[in-house]
Structure 1
Amino acid sequence: MSATITVVGLGSGNPDRLTLGIMKTLQRAAKVYVRTLSHPVITALEDLGVKMESFDQAYESHDTFPEVYDYIASALIQTSQTEGDGSEIVYAVPGHPMVAEATVKLLRERCSKQNITLTVLGGESFLDEAFVRLGFDPIEGFQLLDAAELRSSLIQPQLHTLIGQVYDMFTASEVKLALMEIYPDEYEVIVGHALGVEGEESIVRIPLYELDRIEGYGNLSLVYVPRSDDDQLRHRTFARLHEIVGILRSPEGCPWDRDQTHESIRKNLIEETYEVLETIDEDDPEHMQEELGDLLLQILLHAQMEEELGTFTVYDVIQGLNDKLIFRHPHVFGENLAKDAEAALQNWEQMKAEEKRRKGLDPEKASALDGIPRDLPALMKAYKLQKKASKVGFDWDDINGVFQKIEEELAELREAVAEGQSPDEQALELGDLLFAVSNAARFIQADPEEALSRTNRKFVTRFRYIEEQLEAQGKTVHDSTLDEMEVLWQSAKQISSPDGDDKP
């Protein structure tokens, strides 16, 4: 006969709510272990002669709640084994044993492995009192969240939300910050203390921003956030964005959005990407926020078109990306370590090769130039092609070889122009020169696209300076000489910052 641990629930705090079966179990036990004596029922049990030993000291001797719960579960199992077969240990916890009780979860995981019979007797949960005292029906939609693990991504405004284990004002502050990512500062929330306990119950309605400004938080405190059908509360959620795009593409939606295809909005994806890049170059976070939204819309529209065909949804896209990020970062999500960025990049390349093997592809048979998008801007593509080739040894020893190649290609371009070769032939020589020039970028560790973008911005700033100075003189670039503009150009160069960008 194996040893037994019987877990009973002490209810929400009112001793009159304890079941007859639980009372009999507590009274017949030689000794009762309780997680904490900080519960309104304890005094009534002592009056009835129930002998109890608490684990309150564990909270003082351990740094975190998980450590406390692990200690309690281990101690109960050890005591049960010491008592021997046929013995019964009674362990009493606040509320219902299966609601927000980590020690019981640990016991359920461990007892069977130790040949210990675990019996769990119910009890009134704080949820029962919450439904009654706060006056809402969970059938309308309900979620119970732990204050210690609360994240805004878990919150669904269309559901009644109870947040338990709000032990103190610090925890209340963390809850407030998470809620304020979804709800407005003035949104009314309800704080309940010791619900259903005569003489101790307190129910306070306050605006959200005051959540950590009131007193009274303790072991029997919770926060209730009433449900709302206001769509504005969901506007910070990805689910709402997905829903809106679906509506726009529906028969009852926008005729323009409904008529679009992958091909018709293909150029929009490119344009929005460049608009995001412009905000990065301008260091304009507010504008960047808006443009990232426009780019995200393009992604949602393309995904929605495929969802309508039944091929995939945007959530399949997200899952695929999550799986890829975790798989390609074993140094973060696995046991492999990366001491620096170079090692991390090596891990990334190794896992990419492993992905190909899992798809039935042989990385050894693939071209060294595979993986570069066909429609990349030409300068960026040239840089990536050269970088790929260099990894297999097709490269110069140093930058001097690149300089010689640039001079060689420049001479060939001069010759093509001097000989009056066809425009196509001259263009080919120009392409060779640009390709050679972009190769220098790797040796000086510069991105050629970014370098040229900076020069473009510098040119625009200086040319506009010329226009402004001419306007001050009552002239325009159209009625000015090259010499006049050259003087102003040199003046504009004098106010350029050392890094090549212009001062404000």
Structure 2
Amino acid sequence: MSGNITVIGLGSGDPDRLTLGSLKQLQNAQQRFVRTKDHPVVSWLEETGVSFSSFDTVYEEKADFPSVYEEITERLIASARGNDIVYAVPGHPMVAEATVKLLRSRCPEEEITLSIIGGESFLDEAFLRFGFDPIEGFQLLDSSGLSPANIDPRMHTLIGQVYDVFTASEVKLSLMEVYPDDYEVVIGHALGVAGQEQMIKVPLYELDRTEGYGNLSLVYVPASNDDSLRIRSFQRLHEIVDILRSPEGCPWDREQTHQSIRKNLIEETYEVLETIDDDDPDHMREELGDLLLQIMLHSQMEEETGAFTVYDVIQELNEKLVYRHPHVFGELSAEDAEAALNNWEAMKAEEKRRKGIEPERLSVLDGVPRDLPALMKAYKLQKKAAKSGFDWDHIDGAWSKIEEELGELKEAVQGGMDPLEQTRELGDVLFSIVNVARFIGVDPEEALSLTILKFVRRFNYVEEILRERGKTPKESNLAEMDALWDEAKNKGIQ
């Protein structure tokens, strides 16, 4: 059963701006609906005898705006089956009108003909009243989905759907992530409507302290070329690194290569780990920035050769995260962390097949980075080997291996074997200790780090007490320092 829906835009609010064609359509319609009667043109039309059925009650029945718009769409489609109806909306039907977007999607499925007649958009009045040309750079944002990531201070910004003080408060908080608290913005109420229009300039922090918000309210944020307003944006970081590497930039940065700053990447990573161990968020923030800089510099070097950009890096990462989490972004499920990890490994194997690599033909030890610290690398290699079945059935086997390797190390040292052989035997001892760590579920790198930290703190205690006694470690003796070490231990210094 076919039907027809004609959507008509009522304009920004001035009845004089309603076109003659739209007025005739409204007057001649047998069934007229309006999303909300809270609009000056609707009041004027009803005074002339053009009445409407409104969906204002739906706003009270539903908990959120998406549910409201879905319900209105359902009711319109139901009313249009076998009928011709007119549906009037504020402004222009194609500007910030969610119900029209839903109708455009649903009507073809329901075999309903949808016609749209434009109207004056609130944007027309905004350009005129706020006095800017949109070709200079302009963005229209919805208050309900406003995010600092979407805001570009270089563009004139209009924020619509600012219905009330609560919405204005949410808008203010998002804008304050980008602009200073006293940045001047303009609140526009009923632009173009005679006797109702208001434009109020306020500092940003007063945005939610102003009355008068309603269906015809919006916020204008003037454009600015002040780079300090973009200091939190990734785009600005990219620009800064590009400038540093440019001919007009920093001589030191220009000279760097992947190899020359290779060690910096490792050092910065360990400095981040130190802040994690120290539970120091402020320092962590700084060190994460230093680590990010290394990624930016390496990416910038490749951008200069035309190989890839940092945005390619981000794209590949995003694609990988989505692909390897089918239990989040796809149809699979994962009830626990182990199931999620299995999904990750399965998708990782599938990626290899797409690249022409047969996972089944790879060594089970593949995939461990060549330059990992030795203790960490040993742990990862053993875990991979154990997954393939190359492992003791019980931890007793690991204990026995330690005793065996320790005996061989003693023989090598006491027998005066060459240094290389002694080195190999010491490596065997360390490798066998890693096996025990794996059996008891302890990361050996982390365990050794904790012991190092404990050693440093206890030795610092020894130094401090010696300093109080007017001594240095060199001026002391082993017996005295050993006693102070035990004292630190008894004090629970870890």
Provide the secondary structure at the position in 2 that maps to 1:273.
helix
Match of 1:73 in 2: 73
Report Cα offsets for 1:370-425 as digits up to 9, x if no partner.
10000000000000000111111111122221111111111110111110111110
Q: AA paired with 2:379?
A: Y
Q: Which residue of the partner structure matches residue 431 of structure 1?
A: 427
Counterpart-to-counterpart distance in 2, 1:70 and 1:251: 56
> With structure 1 as the length reference, what TM-score do the two structures score?
0.96
Specify the SS of the correspondent of 2:332: coil
CA distance in 1, matches of 2:108, 2:428: 73
Match of 2:135 in 1: 139
- 1:199 Cα offset (Å): 2.1
Q: 2:174 aligns with which of 130, 153, 178?
A: 178
Q: 2:309 aligns with which of 313, 318, 321?
A: 313
Match of 2:248 in 1: 252
CA shift for structure 1 position 113: 2.7
Q: Distance in 1 between matches of 2:113 and 2:339?
A: 50
Asked if 1 retains the 8 angstrom alpha-carbon contact of 2:2 and 2:82, the reply is no
Pick one of 147, 153, 157 that aligns with 2:149: 153
Q: Is 1:476 the counterpart of 2:472 in the alignment?
A: yes
State the alpha-carbon separation in 2 of the partners of residues 132 and 478 from structure 1. 81
Higher mean Cα deviation, 410-419 or 52-61? 52-61
Separation (CA, whole Å) in 2 of partners of 1:489 and 1:12: 80
1:263 aligns with 2:272: no
Q: SS of the counterpart of 2:33? A: strand
Does the 8 A contact of 1:148 with 1:165 survive in 2? yes
Distance 2:194 2:386 in 1: 78
For 1:432 and 1:173, the matched residues in 2 are separated by: 64
Amino acid at match of 1:281: D
Question: In the alignment, does 2:329 pair up with 1:333?
Answer: yes
Q: Counterpart of 1:51?
A: 51
State the match for 1:464 in structure 2: 460
Aligned to 1:92: 88
Equivalent residue for 1:122? 118
The amino acid across from 1:161 in the alignment is T
2: CA distance, partners of 1:365 / 1:271: 35
What is the distance in 2 between the residues matched to 1:283 and 1:403?
34
Moved more, 178-187 or 73-82: 73-82
CA distance in 2, matches of 1:390, 1:465: 42
Of 195-204 and 284-293, deviating more is 195-204
**Contact preservation (8 Å) 1:10, 1:94:** yes
Tell me the residue number matched to 1:346: 342
**Which residue number corresponds to residue 233 of structure 1?**
229
User: Aligned with 1:191: secondary structure?
Assistant: strand
1:206 Cα deviation from its structure 2 partner? 1.4
Which segment is superposed worse, 99-108 or 60-69?
A: 60-69
Deviation at 1:154, TM superposition (A): 0.5
The 1-side partners of 2:90 and 2:235 are apart by: 37
- Mapped to 1, the partners of 2:381 and 2:37 lie a distance apart of 70
Residue 216 (structure 2) pairs with residue 223 (structure 1): no
2:37 is the counterpart of 1:41: no
- After TM superposition, the runs of 4+ consecutive aligned structure 1 residues lying more than 6 A away are none
2:191 is aligned to 195
Range with bigger deviation, 333-342 or 195-204: 195-204
Instruction: Letter of the 1:27 partner, please give it.
Output: Q
Q: Which runs of 5+ in 1 are unaligned?
A: none
Distance 2:483 2:423 in 1: 32
Q: How does 1:447-458 map to 2 (within 5 A)?
A: 447-458=443-454
Q: Does structure 1 retain, via aligned residues, the 8 Å contact 2:2–2:81? A: no
Supply the distance in 2 between the matched residues of 1:466 and 1:79 (Cα, whole angstroms).
Answer: 86
Q: Give, in whole Å, the separation in 1 of the partners of 2:220 and 2:159.
A: 6
For 1:285 and 1:273, the matched residues in 2 are separated by 15
Query: What is the CA-CA distance between 1:164 and the residue it aligns to?
Result: 0.3
Aligned-partner residue type, residue 384 of structure 2: K
Q: Check the 8 A contact 2:3/2:82 in 1, yes or no.
A: no
Indicate the SS of the match to 1:190.
strand
- Contact kept, 8 Å, 1:30 with 1:51, in 2: the verdict is no
SS of the residue 1:199 aligns to = coil
Report the 3-state secondary structure (helix = DSSP H, G, I; strand = E; otherwise coil) of the residue aligned with 1:216. Answer: coil
Please, which of 323, 340, 350 is the counterpart of residue 319 of structure 2?
A: 323
Matching residue's letter, 2:391: D
1:282-431 to 2 correspondences below 5 Å: 282-431=278-427
| Alpha-carbon offset, residue 126 of structure 1 | 0.8
- Write the deviation string for residues 131-155 of structure 1: whole angstroms up to 9, x where unpaired: 1112222111000001111111110
* Cα distance in 1 between the residues matched to 2:311 and 2:455: 44
Letter aligned with residue 263 of structure 1 = Q
Give, in whole Å, the separation in 2 of the partners of 1:191 and 1:495. 63
Which residue is 1:22 aligned to? 22
Q: Does 1:243 align with 2:231?
A: no
Mapped to 2, the partners of 1:402 and 1:182 lie a distance apart of 57
Question: How far off its partner does 1:317 sit?
Answer: 0.4
The structural deviation recorded for 1:2 is: 5.6
Partner of 1:82: 82
Q: How many residues align?
A: 494
Task: Kindly provide the CA deviation profile for residues 299-343 of structure 1, in whole angstroms up to 9, marking residues without a partner as x.
Answer: 000000000111110000000000111111111111211111111
What does the per-residue CA deviation read over 1:347-374, in whole Å, with 9 as the maximum and x for residues that have no partner? 1111111111111111111100010000
SS in 2 for 1:7: strand
Tell me whether 367-376 or 473-482 shows the greater mean CA deviation: 473-482
CA deviations 1:151-172 (Å, max 9, x no partner) are: 1111000000001001122211
**RMSD (Å) for aligned C-alpha atoms:** 1.3
- Structure 2: state its 5+ residue gaps: none
Q: Is the 8 A contact 1:8 1:22 kept in 2?
A: yes
2:209 to 203, 206, 213: 213
Counterpart Cα distance in 1 of 2:118 and 2:9: 6
